[in-house]
Structure 1
Amino acid sequence: MPIPARMPGTLVPLSLEQQGLWFLWQVDPDDSAYNIAYTQRWRGALDIAALHNPVLICW
């Protein structure tokens, strides 16, 4: 099943699970119970310019 393309900046509704996490964060934004530490290791050349915008969007 193909996934239709969206225009940049188009808002997408949250899933029920995402809504639940958002609610819990609203109740207690300092609670780190749902934070997950993550490390990624890449091999080869890394295109910093291509990675820059997606990382900024997440943070």
Structure 2
Amino acid sequence: MEQRFSAIKHRATCLDNLMNQPEATPAEYARANKELRKLSGYVQLINELKAKQK
């Protein structure tokens, strides 16, 4: 399960980096933004879960 959490957070970071690149095309930006919006709720839940486990 920890690997899955790590993979989700890593993907969100990659998408955020892609969106911040000036050479990203509008289509790439839109696709990354759409996927990042889907993942952001999961990332927030993962962070809350990890905080409770500490």
TM-score of the two chains, using structure 2 as the length reference? 0.30
Question: Which structure is larger by alpha-carbon Rg, 1 or 2?
Answer: 1
Q: Which has the higher contact order (CA 8 A, sep 6+)?
A: 2
TM-score of the two chains, using structure 1 as the length reference? 0.27
